[in-house]
């Protein structure tokens, strides 16, 4: 007991001492290049339509292929293509490339950057129909009725009763959305000079879309559409101003600079004043500050340089700051505003004569560093980057629920690398909760200014990308059978067999699936009967609910080896089981095997597939009912021990004990993370907790800290 007390005391001392020493001695390491690398990957996670061959996301596939215009980005955690925030995102990313190409080149991300930018610009250009322009594809009200992976969107919608397909919205009186689209295409023209052969194509559509927007000077059609319930436009002159300035940069035509000047009287004003507004952030609904910066660059006019400076002074000393220095403009997705404002400040410092810019430089560095983990919570707000990174971002496809349920499974099945979550609330608190879409949703516009600012920071401070990124995910079972013995007696056995489709790499319909239920006929033979004398009765075929072509196909009794036989249940049509809802992710077949004597002799206890079922009154997932695709074993263990290839995790995929911060190494940083958790200063994901259980006693406590500390001291 004395030894145990002494050990506990020394462990507690280690817990209290190590974090304080380490945190006092160093700041979090900020790797801007890695963050940029992952932020670009996030946009590949958002790609709609046919995926390009350079898409790196193993859990994504082609989707919404019947859209009026394919391509583009899904907006956020949903599956709608809202052109207003999408075009804003594209314009900010293009600006980042235009302003800071050296940083992107330096870290080796130019190809990925250009690929992702051209992908979205191709879509925006395709939305130009000549006399009118598409401003949205998909319906937000319909979309938000279903929570599932986008690869199965059509099936999910049909299961929910929406069978009319995805609508699209087009018109002429949508000046905000069209101004933003024109700005994105013109900015893309500027940024991609020498990097793409599509620049003239982008500029052609930028000028036409701008002409439609400027002629209408109205948002009437936009505000009367589904878009207004999600991204309602507050005004449109700021987008026209923004677009005209980019078009001037692209073409050098004075008419565009004149247009920009003509919009200034209609730009936002400070409340109760005629002064041009300076007290807000660059964002999807307000491009005024970005436009003002461009106008100051384009004209060199000291008045407008002064307007930019007044905005920067507001960013430094006017907007509310959380502990740690984060500019908190709004509760909903606060980090997007902070990152975009930081980017505007950085560009202003690098392009205008503002005098002493020290305060502005501190501002933008504080904003980006806060996002990346330099904050009171020691919390990265970027999925898959840094310590304590979010896991459960509000995102349908990354979560990959199989039954249209926000809460199931508990943790997202995929790592949405690079996604900047909404961020802390007004008190600086944050919970990694998928159901909290205000603070934990992600969106294209969240990452927009963030990506541009990362290009700047990489140019100035450097950093290294991960040469092995993205590493393959460790997959869970995509197909299996959940089985239950409903009745067992000497006359036979009746079974509930639920074939399950939990596909996620990617989520998909799969035809020609089957499974085998194995049983031993020794008692049948001993009684003088043949296995062919066994009666097979089908009591339920759920697949018939979806049409005759979905019906299960039940095989004859087939010999496996010696006295072990099986019944095979096949689904030629993959619609029999789809991971889209509670009623569809499993397909039940109820079978009965009846002993030919009908009175006595059947023995269910010697049947191979019953081994996991006999002691349970509830359904059981068993690997002794094997699953096949096109006759190839994909799940389970056959009676002779045959398993699918690559069933066992690789060495790299197995847990690394002590790797608490999940960086693939065991260092003092892991001990720090563990000790912070033990004194309630940090939290652990389930994977991190597994690694933190250093002594493998199924608990994370001071004994693990002591063992890990001793290991590091060796």
| Structure-token pair, residue 310 | 């007044």
Number of Cβ within 10 Å of residue 611's Cβ equals 15
Neighbours of 216 (CB within 10 A): 18
Is residue 460 within 8 A of residue 479, CB to CB? The reply is no
Name the active-site residue from 154, 214, 239, 432: 432
Q: Angle between the 288-299 and 237-251 helix axes, to the nearest 10 degrees?
A: 30
- What is the three-class DSSP state of 411? coil
From the candidates 311, 328, 394, 414, which is the catalytic residue? 394
50 burial type by CB count under 10 A (0-12 exposed, 13-18 middle, 19+ buried): middle
Residue 78: CA atoms inside 13 Å, Cβ hemisphere, count?
17
394 catalytic residue (yes or no): yes
Residues β-bridged to residue 382: 420
Point out which residues pair with 627 in neighbouring strands.
515, 635
Residue 146: other Cβ atoms inside 10 A? 22
Q: Which of 395, 399, 404, 398 is nearest to 156 (CA)?
A: 404
Tokens 């003509």 belong to 262
Annotated catalytic residue, options 207, 214, 441, 520: 441
Active site residue 78: yes
Which DSSP string do the residues of 331-374 spell out, in sequence order? STTHHHHHHHHHHHHHHHHHHS--S--HHHHHHHHHHHHHHTT-
C-alpha of 626 from chain center: 32
- Burial class from Cβ neighbours inside 10 Å (0-12, 13-18, 19+) for residue 310 reads middle
Whole-number Cα distances in Å, 665 to 473, 652, 691, 700: 18, 12, 11, 19
Collapse the DSSP code of 414 into the 3-class scheme (helix H, G, I; strand E, B; otherwise coil) and give the result.
coil
Spot the catalytic one: 78, 226, 459, 588.
78
Place of tokens 């009367």: 224
Residue 311: alpha-carbon gap to chain centroid: 33
| Catalytic (active site) residue 425 | no
Q: What ranges in 127-219 are assigned the alpha helix state H?
A: 140-143, 153-159, 175-191, 199-216
Catalytic center residues: 78, 394, 432, 441
């Amino acid at each position: 007991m004395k030894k145990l007390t002494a050990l506990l005391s020394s462990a507690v001392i280690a817990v209290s001492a190590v974090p304080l020493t380490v945190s006092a001695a160093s700041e979090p390491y900020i790797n801007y290049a890695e963050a940029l690398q992952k932020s670009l990957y996030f946009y590949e996670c958002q790609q709609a339509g046919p995926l390009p061959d350079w898409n790196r996301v193993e859990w994504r596939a082609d989707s919404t292929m019947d859209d009026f215009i394919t391509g583009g980005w899904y907006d956020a955690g949903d599956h709608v293509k809202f052109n207003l925030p999408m075009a804003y995102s594209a314009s900010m990313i293009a600006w980042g490339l235009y302003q800071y190409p050296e940083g992107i080149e330096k870290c080796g991300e130019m190809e990925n950057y250009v690929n992702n930018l051209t992908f979205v610009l191709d879509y925006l250009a395709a939305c130009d129909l000549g006399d009118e322009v598409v401003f949205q594809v998909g319906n937000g009200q319909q979309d938000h009725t279903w929570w599932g992976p986008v690869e199965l969107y059509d099936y999910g919608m049909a299961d929910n009763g929406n069978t009319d397909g995805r609508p699209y919205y087009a018109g002429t009186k949508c000046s905000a959305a069209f101004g933003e689209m024109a700005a994105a295409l013109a900015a893309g023209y500027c940024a991609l000079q020498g990097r793409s052969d599509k620049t003239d194509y982008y500029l052609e559509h930028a000028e036409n879309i701008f002409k439609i927007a400027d002629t209408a000077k109205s948002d009437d059609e936009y505000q009367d559409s589904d878009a207004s319930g999600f991204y309602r436009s507050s005004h449109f002159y700021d987008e026209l101003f923004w677009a005209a300035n980019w078009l001037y940069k692209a073409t050098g035509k004075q008419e565009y600079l004149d247009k920009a000047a003509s919009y200034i009287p209609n730009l936002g004003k400070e409340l109760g004043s005629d002064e041009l507004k300076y007290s807000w952030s660059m964002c999807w609904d307000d491009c005024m500050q970005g436009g003002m910066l461009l106008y100051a660059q384009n004209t060199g006019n000291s008045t407008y340089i002064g307007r930019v400076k007044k905005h920067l002074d507001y960013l430094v000393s006017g907007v509310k700051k959380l502990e740690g220095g984060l500019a908190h403009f709004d509760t909903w997705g606060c980090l997007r505003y902070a990152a975009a404002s930081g980017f505007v400040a950085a560009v202003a410092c690098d392009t205008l004569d503002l005098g002493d810019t020290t305060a502005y430089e501190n501002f933008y560095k504080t904003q980006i560093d806060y996002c990346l983990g330099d904050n009171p919570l020691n919390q990265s707000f970027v999925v898959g980057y840094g310590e304590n990174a979010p896991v459960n971002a509000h995102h349908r496809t990354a979560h990959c629920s199989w039954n249209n349920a926000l809460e199931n499974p508990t943790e997202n099945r995929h790592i949405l690398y690079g996604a900047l979550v909404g961020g802390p609330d007004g008190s600086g608190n944050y919970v990694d909760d998928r159901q909290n879409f205000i603070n934990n949703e992600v969106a294209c516009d969240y990452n927009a200014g963030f990506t541009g600012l990362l290009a700047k920071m990489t140019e100035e401070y450097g950093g290294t990308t991960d040469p092995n990124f993205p590493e393959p995910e460790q997959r869970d079972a995509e197909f299996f059978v959940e089985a239950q013995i409903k009745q067992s007696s000497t006359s036979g056995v009746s079974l509930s067999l639920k074939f399950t489709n939990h596909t996620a790499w990617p989520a998909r319909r799969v035809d020609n699936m089957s499974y085998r239920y194995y049983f031993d006929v020794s008692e049948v033979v001993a009684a003088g009967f043949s296995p062919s004398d066994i009666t097979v009765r089908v009591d339920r075929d759920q697949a018939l609910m979806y049409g005759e072509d979905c019906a299960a196909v039940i095989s004859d009794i087939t010999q496996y080896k010696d006295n072990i036989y099986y019944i095979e249940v096949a689904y030629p049509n993959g619609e029999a089981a789809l991971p889209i809802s509670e009623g569809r992710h499993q397909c039940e077949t109820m079978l009965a095997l009846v002993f030919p004597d009908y009175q006595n002799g059947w023995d269910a206890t010697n049947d191979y597939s019953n081994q996991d079922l006999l002691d349970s009154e509830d359904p059981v997932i068993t690997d002794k009912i094997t699953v096949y695709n096109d006759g190839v074993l994909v799940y389970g263990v056959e009676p002779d021990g045959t398993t699918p290839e690559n069933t066992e995790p690789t060495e790299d995929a197995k847990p690394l004990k002590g790797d608490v911060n999940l960086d693939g190494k065991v260092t003092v940083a892991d001990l720090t993370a563990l000790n912070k958790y033990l004194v309630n200063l940090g939290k652990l994901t389930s994977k991190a907790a597994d690694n933190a259980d250093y002594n493998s006693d199924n608990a994370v406590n001071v004994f693990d800290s002591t063992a890990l500390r001793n290991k590091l001291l060796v």
